[in-house]
Amino acid sequence: ININFVITHKIFLNNTYYIMSQKFTILFDLDGTLVNTAPDLMRAHNHVMKKYGFEERKLADIKKLAGRGSRVMLKKSMHEISELSGKNIKTDEVVDKMTKEFVDFYSKNIIGESTLKNGTINFLSWCKKNSISMAVCTNKQENLSIDLLKKIKIYDFFDYVAGGNTFNHNKPDPKHLTDTIEIIGGDINKSLMIGDSETDSNAAKAANIPFVLIEDGYTEKKTNEIYHNYLVKDFIGLEKIIKKYL
């Protein structure tokens, strides 16, 4: 027997076993993907804007503003209002204070009207049953994300929660996704991202992982303007897509 063949074959079998034993990983965005958070984000946003002399915004406005974190949301909102009304945008120092007040108010009212996306529990349960690793990648602050996930009773499904302040980078930077996959022991070639906006899409595309786009997302763009491999209304029946990768 050729000893080199035996050694090479053994290495091949070991590597094949390792690859086969690697779990599939799904990364989820949070706001607008797993949870419809817009009503509670609107309350916190309007509480702060009213206090600082700006107009309150409607739910449809908040859906377009959310997705990049609270500070970006407030700045974008003020910029839009100032363009229409001529009001001056506040200084960075004031925006910092507004952001802190937003977070304080929101953290105390995080689950007033927020609801899970249709089919979420059944889909997460199916993933767990099929030994799929799951993690959340959101631009929401980590502590707020964990608190929301716990209060809406889906926290225990996830192996890791990477918030907007967990790393020194966040979406659309692909490292937000790839670092999370690495932390939970996943394989980038056996991973998929589910999100609702171009922020999620751009991160997934740059990380070279498939992307499932949830309709009616927190974005200004139409679905045909956002890169995606699959488009779904919610989590009902999403198992059919995931089975293609298992």
Contacts of residue 60, defined as CB under 8 A and 6 or more positions apart, other chains included, come to none
Neighbour tally for 45: CB within 10 Å: 26
Among candidate residues 29, 31, 40, 61, the one labeled active-site is: 29
What is the rounded CA–CA span in Å between residue 71 and residue 97? Answer: 10
Give the chain as a DSSP string.
--HHHHHHHHHHHHHHHHHHHSPPEEEE--BTTTEE-HHHHHHHHHHHHHHTT-----HHHHHHH-SS-HHHHHHHHHHHHHHHH-PPPPPHHHHHHHHHHHHHHHHHSTTSS-EEPTTHHHHHHHHHHTT-EEEEE-SS-HHHHHHHHHHTT-GGG-SEEE-TTTSS--TTSTHHHHHHHHHTT--GGGEEEEESSHHHHHHHHHHT--EEEESS-SSSS-GGGS--SEEESSSTTTHHHHHTT-
CA neighbor of 149 nearest in space, from 25, 24, 26, 28: 28
179 is catalytic: no
- Known catalytic residues? 29
